[in-house]
Amino acid sequence: MRIAIVILALCAAAYAQQCVPVPDRVDCHPDPDASEENCLARGCQWCTGDEGTPWCHVPANYGYKMVGTPEETPNGYRVTLSRSTNASYFGNDAETLTATFEVQSDYRLRIKITDGTDRFEVPLKINPPASEPASPLFSIEFTNDPVFSFKVIRQSTGTVVFDTSLGGLTFSDQFIQLGIKIPSTNAYGIGENEQPSYRHDFSKFTPVPLFARDQSPTGYKNSYGVHPYYTVIENDGNAHSVVIVNSNAQEFVIQPTPGYVYRTIGGLLDIYVFLGPTVEETVQQFTEAIGRQSIPPYFGLGFQLCRWGYDSIETMQATVNRTAAAGIPQDIQYGDIDIMQSELDFTYDPTRFHDLPAYVTELKSKGIKFIPIVDPFIKYDEPRGTYPALDLGDQMDVWMKRSSGEPWIGNCWPGQVYYPDYSRNSTKQWWAILLREYKNLIDYDGIWIDMNEPANWGKGDVVVGCENNKYNNPPYVPAIETRDLVDNTACMDVEQDFGIHYDTHSLYGWSESEPTTTAVRDILGKRSIVVSRSTFLGSGNWVAHWLGDNMSTWSNMKASIIALLHFNLFGMPYAGSDICGFGMNSNEEMCTRWQQLGAFYPYSRNHNALGNIEQDPAVWGPESRESTRRALLIRYTLIPYLYTLFFHHKTKGSTVVRALFHEFTKDPVTHGIDEQMMWGSGFLISPVLREGHDSVTAYFPDARWYSYYDGAEVNVRGAYTNLDAPFGFINLHVRGGNILPTQEPAMNTDASRQNPFGLIIALDDESLAEGTLYYDDGNSIEPQDSGLYFLTSYTYNNGTLRNQVERNEFSEMSQKVLNTIRLMGVDREVTGMTVNGNAHTDFTQLPSGEVQVNNLNLTMVTPFTITFQ
Ligand SMILES: *[C@@H]1O[C@H](CO)[C@@H](O)[C@H](O)[C@H]1NC(C)=O
Ligand SMILES: *[C@@H]1O[C@H](CO)[C@@H](O)[C@H](O)[C@H]1NC(C)=O
Ligand SMILES: *[C@@H]1O[C@H](CO)[C@@H](O)[C@H](O)[C@H]1NC(C)=O
Ligand SMILES: *[C@@H]1O[C@H](CO)[C@@H](O)[C@H](O)[C@H]1NC(C)=O
Ligand SMILES: *[C@@H]1O[C@H](CO)[C@@H](O)[C@H](O)[C@H]1NC(C)=O
Ligand SMILES: CC(=O)N[C@H]1CO[C@H](CO)[C@@H](O)[C@@H]1O
């Protein structure tokens, strides 16, 4: 390992009193009411410019200086920094800092900057890399001119991937700021929020605040989760990614440098850089560190139906009945808060939802699973002795507390409530007891945890308010919604075992996730689904995520693709938005198009809000119903492929849904595409996202592509083309070079799992293709660790298909057969075929050239050879 240190000569105060070029300005007055007077009083530079650019900016000579030279450590460097300015923007600046640079592997660098005091650190377990550093992909350069900054440089190309010479560093008690120059404008990520395009727009200055909030995703507003993570494609097609492990209220300013100015109001700077060099490798390296999502239970890849506002069990039943009657598959039915008695957690309404437990049992006998909602908080003013969740909570001392030691009180379902502190052991035990008792009441298959930002319809404590102190009223608040930390949540000085709410607020949903998943696994004894609204780095270890309370609008349908791509970057591929939108009335055309797209969300759930017209797929006319049925049957056909992608995610960290640029990074057109998405490397989804359109303009990168429907090859490559997309139809294409495992669809996955398998073989330019199938019992816990699974690869070469079983530890697989093949791209007339040397005559060739083979009846676990003449 070798790290270059270049310490440039000090060259004095030449920088002072000069206007910094506009693109490189770091806003020195990010708080409201900037004026020349306020700016100069703060010790900042004032230079006018265009509206929307920082007139008040950090002077070039502001920051810290290195003391001496960087000190070598066993795995990197330690640098001591001393403040070189008297200007203080928000008070309490650290005079001395330590920056450590730890080379954790060839592809992973950790940079930690702290003032040596006892500051909050996120209690996130970061896994070590698989291998020790041998020959790092990067070097580090330190500069002291005009102030301290450093560069991380990709060795192979000299590209500076991370450069902090953008404004000087600020490190004060409640305001930390670091500017980061990035090497290109192809950059993505930073969530959770709604972004207008997947690729960040560096043409202007845009703050992206992060602070968990019950906020429907709306134009960069801070929303439910916090994922301070971005990915950059460098100009030559290499890629790197960066995570900043911090849970305080924070923001990234996207700005024209191009770069990000990062600000947080607590904790410290703990930064990991992942050097890729491919986009997929950046995700793999990041998820190696923070953890990956478990393979969902097989039923979790089926279609899911939900709404808030079933007025009775009969309405729920009628919805389930008409879905089945329309031939639309369904695997999961949800119960939202309307199933509860007076909206109290862990109850059901014996009047409106009479016999719910029996109905859940009936659903399960038909192969439909049931998932109820649970809110995190408990109504505190129920008479003691009537509500076990409350009595036991008091007894086990589970509540978050005011500094006076009393539980704080917020206002949310169904009134005034206490909030459990999920970071406390007794709370975890209490929660597990409640979940177990609830299972005895309703035989659920998973749990839906909502409102865990945590939400509160008020500002802090609704009984005593919030004290005026440094936590509730810090000197600086990032550009979060209402610019008030306590708005819609707890006072920031509420105590939790793992820290004061000021530091831990955005970890609330995260802290609820592990105890819920652990308890549900214990109780069910098998894999299940816990789906959470609020998430943080590493939440993927425990929970799925739906993209929140969106609206039934076309623009939200489009935004859902961007959000889904984000969560695939964040290591949480089991995600999806509420199909047909949550808020507002949907309509038949939009809902039909959304069902077509949503059939390809990994987490595929139609959900609706109280008061809106019904929007379940069977409520619409026959053409719409047929469209949804067809799209979902294609999904069910491809679940073995989707399931295999989740195995690759869990074991390698690959994305499940990915942007085209993951596969075609060198094609710059792909860098801006966010209206199409891929499943893995082999399947392209090109939905209609606009009202009144019956065609779609889709991009086909340079490869062979075949229509999913008839195997016809697309006649363009490396170009956009206009595809017909009539009302009931979504464009789906298979990429040459891939073999996709399939299974005949059915009305739910219990049934489809009994059906024969098939293969879709799509040939590339060399007439080659390959693929993998992962399969297991669908509900055992962490099968990739227990080893109880089946894994096989398929290769097609020179007219011959072969399988190679790599693991055969799922016993039922020996009873399953491969029955069909769809072979795309043979470009000639197929005159015959043999299976293990024997002629097989049950095949046809379509006008498109696709060869369809039936009745193979080959055991999945036995090696075979199939040759096409
Ligand atoms: C900071 O203030 C002190 C005392 O006024 C002065 O001696 C020193 O030069 C100042 N330092 C800088 C970097 O301006
Ligand atoms: C739903 O279907 C079941 C079984 O066919 C039937 O018993 C029940 O009455 C139906 N319920 C409603 C509300 O349509
Ligand atoms: C909480 O439980 C964990 C795991 O059982 C244990 O290691 C830890 O010491 C406990 N903490 C407290 C405060 O009891
Ligand atoms: C391809 O297959 C044909 C017969 O099907 C065989 O004659 C030929 O040698 C094969 N070529 C290669 C490179 O394996
Ligand atoms: C499939 O093969 C099995 C033996 O492997 C045989 O028992 C069965 O009848 C065959 N099914 C069909 C439809 O040919
Ligand atoms: C991503 C997304 O769908 N965002 C929408 C959610 O709902 C708000 C309205 O509350 C819309 O403005 C967003 O566009």
Could you tell which of 316, 317, 361, 365 is best to mutate to test the pocket of ligand 2, judged by most ligand atoms within 8 Å of the CB?
317
- Report CA(495)–ligand 2 centroid distance (Å): 50
Domain match, 385 and 286 both: no
Q: Find the CATH number of the domain harbouring 385.
A: 3.20.20.80
Using most ligand atoms within 8 A of CB, pick from 556, 557, 579, 585 the residue to mutate for ligand 6.
556
β-strand partners of 720 = 699
269: how many CB neighbours lie within 10 A of its CB?
20
Model pLDDT for residues 338-357, shown as the tens digit of each residue: 999 999 999 999 999 999 99
Q: Give rounded-to-5 percent helix, strand, coil for the chain.
A: 25, 30, 50
The question of whether 694 is a catalytic residue gets the answer: no
Q: How confident is the model at residue 15 (pLDDT cuts 50, 70, 90)?
A: very low
450 is catalytic: yes
**pLDDT above 90 for 751:** yes
The CB-side HSE value for 699 (13 A sphere, CA atoms) comes to 19
Which pLDDT belongs to residue 548? 85
Cα dist from 716 to 73, 670, 686, 701, whole Å:
55, 15, 15, 9
- Joined tokens for residue 250: 């924070």
What pLDDT, on a 0 to 100 scale, did the predictor assign at position 14?
Answer: 42
- Same structural domain for residues 272 and 125? yes
- Burial class from Cβ neighbours inside 10 Å (0-12, 13-18, 19+) for residue 37 reads exposed
Query: For the segment 493-531, what is each residue's pLDDT rounded down to a tens digit?
Result: 999 999 999 999 999 999 999 999 999 999 999 999 999
Residue located nearest, by CA, to atom 3 of ligand 1:
86
Q: Establish if 730 belongs to a structural domain.
A: yes
Question: How many domains does the chain divide into?
Answer: 3
Whether 627 maps to a domain, the answer reads: no
Distance CA 549, CA 637 (A): 29
The answer to whether residue 13 scores a pLDDT higher than 50 is no
Q: How confident is the model at residue 17 (pLDDT cuts 50, 70, 90)?
A: low
Residues 727 and 850 in one domain: yes
The CATH number of residue 19's host domain is 2.60.40.1760
Residue 192's SS3 state is coil
What is the pLDDT at residue 487? Answer: 98
Could you tell me if the CB of 86 is within 6 A of ligand 1?
Answer: yes
Strand order in the sheet with 410-412: 378-379, 415-418, 410-412
Phi, psi of 350 (to 5 degrees): -75, -10
- Mutation test of ligand 2: which of 305, 310, 316, 321 has the most ligand atoms closer than 8 Å to its C-beta? 321
Model confidence at 29, in pLDDT bands (50, 70, 90)? very high
How far does residue 85's CA lie from ligand 1's centre (Å)? 7
Query: Which residue has a Cα nearest atom 2 of ligand 4?
Result: 798
628 in any annotated domain: no
Radius of gyration of the chain (CA): 28
Q: What is the mean pLDDT of residues 797-815?
A: 98
On whether residue 611 sits in a domain, the answer given is no
If asked whether residues 714 and 833 sit together in one domain, one would say yes
Ligand 4 atom with minimal separation from the 798 CA: 1
Same domain, 418 and 269: no
In a domain, 552, yes or no: no
The predicted-structure confidence for 438-464, as pLDDT tens digits, reads as follows 999 999 999 999 999 999 999 999 999
- Asked if residue 245 is part of any domain, the answer here is yes
pLDDT of residue 549: 79
Residue 345 lies in a domain: no
DSSP letter at 160? E
**What was the pLDDT predicted at 11?**
40
- List pLDDT tens digits, range 113-150: 999 999 999 999 999 999 999 999 999 999 999 999 99
pLDDT one-digit tens code per residue, 608-653: 999 999 999 999 999 999 999 999 999 999 999 999 999 999 999 9
Amino acid letter, residue 343: E
Tell me which residue of 176, 167, 143 sits closest to 269, measured CA to CA.
Answer: 176
Q: Report whether the peptide linkage leading into residue 258 is cis, meaning its omega lies within 30 degrees of zero.
A: yes
Q: How far lies 45's CA from each of 57, 478, 869, in Å? A: 5, 21, 76
C-beta separation of 381 from 343 below 8 A: no
Residue appearing with tokens 């440094």: 470
Residue where a domain stops, chosen among 495, 514, 546: 546
Q: Whose CA is nearest to atom 8 of ligand 4?
A: 798
Same domain as 380, residue 282: no
Domain range holding 19? 5-290
pLDDT digits (tens, 9 = 90+) for 192-204: 999 999 999 999 9
User: Closest ligand 2 atom to the C-alpha of 315?
Assistant: 13
Among 264, 290, 316, the domain boundary falls at 290
Task: Please report, rounded to a whole number, the percentage of residues in the chain having pLDDT higher than 90.
Answer: 97
Residues 286 and 384 in one domain: no
Position 309 scores a pLDDT of: 97
pLDDT at 634: 99
216-242 average pLDDT score = 97
Mean pLDDT over each residue of the chain, to the nearest integer: 96
Average pLDDT over residues 207-220: 95
Does residue 614 sit within a domain? no
Q: In Å, how far are 231, 450, 636, 869 from 762, measured between CA atoms?
A: 31, 42, 19, 17
Of 522, 546, 570, at which residue does a domain stop? 546
